[in-house]
Amino acid sequence: MVLEDIKSIMISEEEIAKRVKELGKQLTEDYRGKELLIVGILKGCMLFLSDLVRAIELPLTMDFMVVSSYGTTTKSSGVVRIIKDLEREIEGKDVLIVEDIVDTGLTLSYLVENFKSRNPKSVRICSLLDKPDRRKAQVDIEYVGFKIPDEFVVGYGLDYGENYRNLPFVCVLKPEIYTKK
């Protein structure tokens, strides 16, 4: 049973819904009159992105990337691999990268530099979760859903071993689940 693997709920479904609506309103104001391209970093962003774009009251386009610095472990390797690149050109566009969580910042630091080399009008980051205590690379996250402590979290798109993404809240996974050998 999935729920028996959960230590505690960190952010409720209701808190997430409220914050996503607030972010959508802020993004609507900040990007009014601009050519907004939202880039979702799969797979973790999918639930957040889905709710977020419905809260943005502007025309926008979307594209997706799959990148990895974790593989199947709980610690970042520090090496970013692009598994699926963008299908659209971003030159001259206002790009908003949407992430599920920023912890070390290594992946996003790499992506921002990669995107800047493609000559967009702007590149900004929106992340559901920010875990600043784990930061190894400086990244400016303009839009943050929640700052969280250094806990191993799953749910609302975040996974461990491709499990738990479908939980409607963000929760702390019991350490014995992810420290099994």
Catalytic residue positions, numbered: 103
Geometric angle at alpha carbon 63, from 134 and 13, rounded to 5°: 55
Rg (alpha carbons) of the chain, rounded to whole number: 16
Q: What Cα–Cα distance (Å) separates residue 64 from each residue in 23, 98, 114? A: 20, 9, 14
For residues 53 and 21, the answer to whether their CB atoms sit within 8 Å is no
* CA pair distance 56, 72, nearest whole angstrom: 33
Give 49's DSSP letter. H
How would you class 134 by CB atoms within 10 Å of its CB: exposed for 0-12, middle for 13-18, buried for 19 or more?
middle
